[in-house]
Structure 1
Amino acid sequence: MDAMERIEELLDEAYFTDDPAEMERLAREALELDEDNAEALILLADAVEYSEEKITLLEKARDILAEEMEGVLHSSEANVLEDETGMLYVAVLQRLGFALFSEGKNEEALDLAREIDQYDPEGETHARTLLYRVMLEMDMNSEVLQEALKDGVENLAAVHARAIAAYRLSGPGRAAYRALWDAFSAAPDIPFYILGFMTEPDDSSEDEFEEYNFAVLFEDAWSMDNELVKWITRGAILLGLTAGLFPEENVEKMMILADALEIADFVEDAMVKVESRDDWGALSRYERTGEAIKLFSAGVFLPLEG
């Protein structure tokens, strides 16, 4: 078996292992045979914690792949994500962007997010998620609102970033209120994950796993300001009590918290409205959640200013 065959064997084993330590061992062995193997560099970066080492590995992989991609990258008609090496290149950029963000290198992460976005007109990557998260970290709230105009309400990062930016810019007004319920509507469980009202799902579906990971990424953005945390907490408690999302043993505690957050009257009003419906008791959890959010979006069920 020659060196190339051995590298392929090591990479195959690394791709299929679930053990980060084993992945690291296999990747390092492959790099001993070829220190410029981009796939081995990526696998090793995946195996190590966020750190300067991860950034260094990914930067090296990026530079190697950029040389291979030179013709594709400079072609106005080429679709980078349809090219096998191009997909790998973008995957490296995405990993590098999040690694830079984790180390507080926000301007570099923002540049990478914008670069990936250029290669991804169909929104197949996490470029927009990284873009919004970094912009929030950099307090670029007006720019966030401008960017969010390009994305629909189906884009989780856009709706959460818009909700945060709107509150930061104008406080608890009508614009922030509408944006808050857009964020809840896009994925109602995410605020509950962010606030710890729901724990990491066991044996989750791919969608649940993605929503939980999104919540982890945006938790700090929602938590940067005490009033902002209070804002999303008010929304979650209002929704949770109205739609019956909290376990029965937690309802009394949540009612006390609603009173402390000065939304008890709003909660009572909302509960009276939904429970007066003949079909309310027959609705599923999903249906109750959707109907409650529609109710909140059509009226005013949180204290507003202005």
Structure 2
Amino acid sequence: MNIEQLLERLDTAETDEEISEIGRKILEIDPESPYGKLAVWETMDYEGCVENLDMLREALSGIRMIISEKDAPPNIEEDRDAQAYCTIMMNLGYSLLAEQETEEALEVAKEFANFDDEGFYPSRTLLYRCMLDLQMYRQIFDTLESDPLESVVGEHARAIALIETEAEPGEIRDAVSYAISLDPEVPFFVLNIWEFPEPEDDIDEDIEDTVNYATYVAEPWCSSDKRLAALSAPTFLFGYLTDRLNDEKEIQVLKEGYEGAGVLKEVEEAKAKIREMEQQACDPEEIDAVALGETGAIVEKLLG
């Protein structure tokens, strides 16, 4: 059986045992095959993966050469080599980040995001998380400006970078609100209002991306009181307006706080407006957009 036949088998393999066996057979024929190295690496246990990151580095060098020799840029959706290239960069980049090899992870992330120009893979999540960890706040602005794609983690990174560069409060509030608007569920996981699923839990496809985004922005947001305050104020109010909060004691404390700040009347009027939209069966995204608008206006008055 030649390598092409083995690769076809690899495409349909379902178990780790099958994938590992095929990967080893590929490496017997071609010890430098990036496909063989990726297949073997992916089926290792966690400790084995960490100890064998050089295998992924070698695989990346190999697949990079294959990509560079193509006559035209490959289509990620259709080209097996392009998909392998992205998968190798994804595995290597996120593994390096987990091992706190952040500078090397960033280099991989830059290459990854540059190639993944339509966002089929979580390249932007890796890129902006690395930049946050390295405190590259000004570079975050430049990267967002040149990035052809908008991303949830990128906009959260923008908001955090604005906080750290002491931008105008209104600009920070607008950035936080916009980041929330791209995936309104994310901050509820970040602030532990909602619990993250356990690793062994089956995650619904509907919230899988949300959980992944939240996983990678939670630590940056929670790393200082200043950041937490900037995210908490709009999130809790937005959560109250849209019934995403269900802890009655928490809601009571919130309302007392709004009353003490002199904005409870505006809050209840906004909630009535949202409730009316819900009763009229308005589109949920439209309801969230209106709720975020009301949230922004009230938070501006609340914080001055």
Determine the structure 2 residue equivalent to 1:105.
Answer: 101
2:238 equivalent to 1:242: no
CA distance in 2, matches of 1:174, 1:90: 38
Q: How much has 1:54 moved relative to structure 2?
A: 4.5
User: Secondary structure of 1:124's match?
Assistant: coil
Instruction: For structure 2, list consecutive stretches of 5 or more residues without a partner in the other structure.
Output: none
- Native 8 Å contact 2:159 2:176 kept in 1: yes
Determine the structure 2 residue equivalent to 1:141.
Answer: 137
CA distance in 1, matches of 2:227, 2:295: 18
- Classify 1:203/1:79 alpha carbon distance in 2 versus 1 (closer, same or farther; 3 Å): same
User: Secondary structure of 2:165's match?
Assistant: helix
Determine the structure 2 residue equivalent to 1:210.
Answer: 209
Query: What is the identity, as a one-letter code, of the residue corresponding to 1:137?
Result: D
- Classify 1:216/1:96 alpha carbon distance in 2 versus 1 (closer, same or farther; 3 Å): same
- Classify 1:94/1:236 alpha carbon distance in 2 versus 1 (closer, same or farther; 3 Å): same
Q: What is the aligned-residue RMSD (CA, Å)?
A: 3.5
Determine the structure 2 residue equivalent to 1:89.
Answer: 85
Q: How much has 1:243 moved relative to structure 2?
A: 1.6
2:261 equivalent to 1:256: no
- Native 8 Å contact 2:102 2:134 kept in 1: yes
Q: How much has 1:154 moved relative to structure 2?
A: 4.7
Determine the structure 2 residue equivalent to 1:62.
Answer: 60
Show CA shifts across 1:122-160 (max 9, x none). 333332222211111111112212222345895212211
- Classify 1:68/1:262 alpha carbon distance in 2 versus 1 (closer, same or farther; 3 Å): farther
Same amino acid, percent of matched pairs:
23
CA distance in 2, matches of 1:233, 1:171: 18
Instruction: For structure 1, list consecutive stretches of 5 or more residues without a partner in the other structure.
Output: none
CA distance in 1, matches of 2:51, 2:259: 48
- Native 8 Å contact 1:172 1:303 kept in 2: no
Determine the structure 1 residue equivalent to 2:219.
Answer: 220
CA distance in 1, matches of 2:275, 2:11: 58
- Native 8 Å contact 2:3 2:26 kept in 1: no
How many residue pairs end up in the alignment? 295
- Classify 1:288/1:98 alpha carbon distance in 2 versus 1 (closer, same or farther; 3 Å): same
Query: What is the identity, as a one-letter code, of the residue corresponding to 1:269?
Result: E
Among candidates 78, 81, 101, match of residue 73 of structure 2: 78
CA distance in 2, matches of 1:39, 1:46: 11
Within 5 Å, which residues of 2 pair with 1:1-306? 11=10, 15-17=13-15, 22=17, 26=21, 29-30=24-25, 33-34=28-29, 35-47=31-43, 48-49=45-46, 52-72=50-70, 77-79=72-74, 81=76, 83-151=79-147, 154-170=150-166, 173-200=169-196, 204-247=203-246, 250-256=247-253, 265-266=262-263, 269-275=266-272, 279-280=276-277, 282=279, 286=284, 287-298=286-297, 300-301=299-300, 303-304=302-303
TM-score by length of 2: 0.80
- Classify 1:213/1:137 alpha carbon distance in 2 versus 1 (closer, same or farther; 3 Å): same
Q: Quick check: 223-232 or 39-48, which moved more?
A: 39-48
CA distance in 2, matches of 1:166, 1:42: 39
- Classify 1:7/1:269 alpha carbon distance in 2 versus 1 (closer, same or farther; 3 Å): same
CA distance in 2, matches of 1:173, 1:205: 36
Q: How much has 1:304 moved relative to structure 2?
A: 3.7
